[in-house]
Every structure is written in structure tokens, then in C-alpha cells.
Amino acid sequence: MEAQERVTVLVVDDHFLVRMGLSSTLGAEPDLEVVAEAANGPQAVQLFDVHRPDVTLIDLRLPGMTGVETIARIRALDPSARILAFSTYDAEEEIYRALQAGARAYVPKGVQRDELLEAIRAVHAGRSYLPANVASRLAARIPCSDLSPREFDVLKLLVKGWRNRQIAKALGITEVTVKLHVSRILMKLGVADRTEAATTALQRGIVQIEP
């Protein structure tokens, strides 16, 4: 009898114990095989290019190159790459950006073993997978909350507590332009001031605090 062909998986997480746990869990399944582990984004892109796994399981909170950026880089290498994102933080903006970058599915890190396996197999089969509560929150997401690339740049510096003059100097634009971007950010996020914008950006996963 011919042996069953295994689904190859690349595991990407910056914590060794998490990678070890995931590899152990997946390796115990007769139809799954972990072919490589990566601790950061650049390593994930390199290992993906070498192994071309059937499914890439990637943490969204990676140091340096974020999970979303890593997903985009992998998809640039192979538009058909099948990627499952996961994170400790259940922030809808971060999940939304991961899906926009090319992830086919998302599960929280606290997911039960059976659901994780179901998600991996669904992604390999070409299907999407989202927990019901995440799907409902994304469905209710306000489209106008999308920020332009420049507004996102301004928001990242605003979260750091930078003033308009500092932001203008860092981005090579005028203070008047910064004020205009800040006004649009407040409107799109539906908040009243800079402090609330920063808090909302962190809570929703729009901006991450770099480790």
C-alpha cells in the first residue's frame, strides 16, 4: 500500500518553546510534516524559498519584520503560497492586514489542538478559515478606517508620542501636512484626539510597539 503523502509545514515564531510545541503537535499527525522552523521574518522568507512548504504557519508578532510584512514577502515569492496566521493578540486590524497581505486563515494562539489542525488542513485544501467571533468582527469592520501608507507612517510616530515638528522632520514633510494627516487619522479611527488615536491604534493592532 502506498504511503500517504504528507502536508509540509513551515513554522514561524520567535519563541523557541512555541516552535517546539507546534512542531511536536504537528509532527504527531500522520498527514503533517514540519520541514523547517524560522525565528524571524527574513529567515522565514529564506526557508520558504528553500522548502516551498504546502502551508506556512506564522506568528503576526515578529521582531523586526512583522508577520504581515513577512506574509507579503512570501506571497511575492509565490502568489499561491498558503499561509495561516496566528497571534496572542486578537486585534481585528492586524488580522485584517494579514488577510489583505495574503494569509488564507487566522487562529489565536490559545486555540485548541483540533481546531489548529482543522485550520491547517483547510488552508492546504485551498479554503479560508476564521473562528466565528473573528469573522463577525471583521464583517463589522468599517471600511473607511483604512489608512493610507503615509497616514500609517504618521500614526506610528504619533503612537511613540512624537510631536508634529518631530514627525515632519522624520518624514520630510511640512508641519501643515502632518496636521492634515493627523486630522484624517482621527476621522478615520473615529476618535477625538491624539491620545485616543494612539490608544485605539494599539488596542486594534493597527500599530505594534516594537520590542
**pLDDT tens for residues 155-194?**
999 999 999 999 999 999 999 999 999 988 888 887 888 8
CB 142 within 8 A of CB 29: no
Residue 157: which residues within 8 A CB-CB, separation 6 or more?
166, 167, 170, 171
Domains of the chain and CATH, by start: 7-139 (3.40.50.2300), 143-203 (1.10.10.10)
Any idea which of 44-53, 85-94, 159-168 has the lowest mean pLDDT? 85-94
C-alpha cell at 96: 485584517
Check whether 143 has a pLDDT greater than 60.
Answer: no
Check whether 2 has a pLDDT greater than 50.
Answer: no
**Residue 141 pLDDT grade (very low, low, confident, very high; cuts 50, 70, 90):** low
Q: What gap in Å lies between CA 209 and CA 156, rounded to an integer?
A: 9
Q: Single out the residue of 109, 77, 98 nearest to residue 11, CA to CA.
A: 109
> What pLDDT does 3 receive?
53
CB 130 within 8 A of CB 123: no
Q: How far is CA 50 from the centre of its chain?
A: 22
| Mean pLDDT, rounded, for 107-132 | 90
**Residue 16 pLDDT grade (very low, low, confident, very high; cuts 50, 70, 90):** very high
CA angle in degrees (0–180, nearest 5) for 91-57-10:
155
**Residue 1 pLDDT grade (very low, low, confident, very high; cuts 50, 70, 90):** very low
Q: Is 117 exposed, middle or buried (0-12, 13-18, 19+ CB in 10 A)?
A: middle
Count helices and strands (H / E) in the chain: 10, 5
CB 151 within 8 A of CB 188: yes
Check whether 151 has a pLDDT greater than 70.
Answer: yes
Three-state SS at 79: coil
Check whether 56 has a pLDDT greater than 60.
Answer: yes
Q: One-letter amino acid identity for 57?
A: L
> What pLDDT does 73 receive?
95
| Mean pLDDT, rounded, for 120-149 | 78
Q: What is the mean pLDDT of the chain?
A: 88
